[in-house]
Amino acid sequence: MKRNLFTGVVLSTAMIFAASAWASHGPTDVGGATMYPDKNIVANAVNSGEHETLVAAVKAAGLVETLQGEGPFTVFAPVDSAFNRLPAGTVPMLLKPENKAMLQGVLTYHVVPGNLNHEALKEAVMAGGGSTMLETANGASLTVMKNGNNLVVQDMAGNVASISTYDVAQSNGVIHVIDRVLMPHE
């Protein structure tokens, strides 16, 4: 039996909101490409003109099969410009085979088990008094919080990512497009 990277992840209290009704969504455009709700996370990301670095990283980390799996997964997907904002040399360093475990840790930090659409995230934030912590697939926490009328995601280092596109429905979850790479450590 093949072991799944996400097996054994303990779901946070916010996962209760994942059970909320998930409305059927039609295709969404991301980076000039259509994302189809009947395709999985990887199949759609490959077509996005804004997620080439993310796709290359998912392949280098050996996570393609996992993210094509049943899920459901909520993915906070950084765009290419988010990777470009990292310190010079960070992306090539992470893509080296000897750094595969580190790369997996960064990528799985962007994945939350469950199907947390915008409404579920908003409900969890409101129930938490303006913020909620989500346990990611790598075991570390992200904070989703209210910022005016929008939601933002904060990593453990205090970096804040804005969500530019919510609710990109996938056959195995949902993607929220973000403008920053989140880091699982301070």
Digit-coded pLDDT (tens) for 88-107: 999 999 999 999 999 999 99
Lowest mean pLDDT among 64-68, 128-132, 141-145: 64-68
Q: What is the structure's pLDDT at 44?
A: 79
pLDDT level of residue 5 (50, 70, 90 thresholds): very low
At 83, which amino acid appears?
F
Q: Report the half-sphere exposure of 144 (CA within 13 A, side-chain side).
A: 29
Number of neighbouring beta carbons within 10 Å of residue 6: 18
Query: Residue 20 pLDDT more than 80?
Result: no
Q: What is the structure's pLDDT at 60?
A: 93
Number of neighbouring beta carbons within 10 Å of residue 75: 26
Give the separation between CA 164 and CA 107, rounded to whole angstroms.
19
* Pairing verdict, β 33-35 and 28-30: antiparallel
* Averaged pLDDT score across all residues of the chain: 83
Domains and CATH numbers, the chain: 24-178 (2.30.180.10)
Q: Record the tokens describing residue 45, joined without a space.
A: 């990301």
Q: What is the structure's pLDDT at 17?
A: 34
Q: Work out the end-to-end distance of the chain between its first and last CA atoms, rounded to an integer number of angstroms.
A: 35
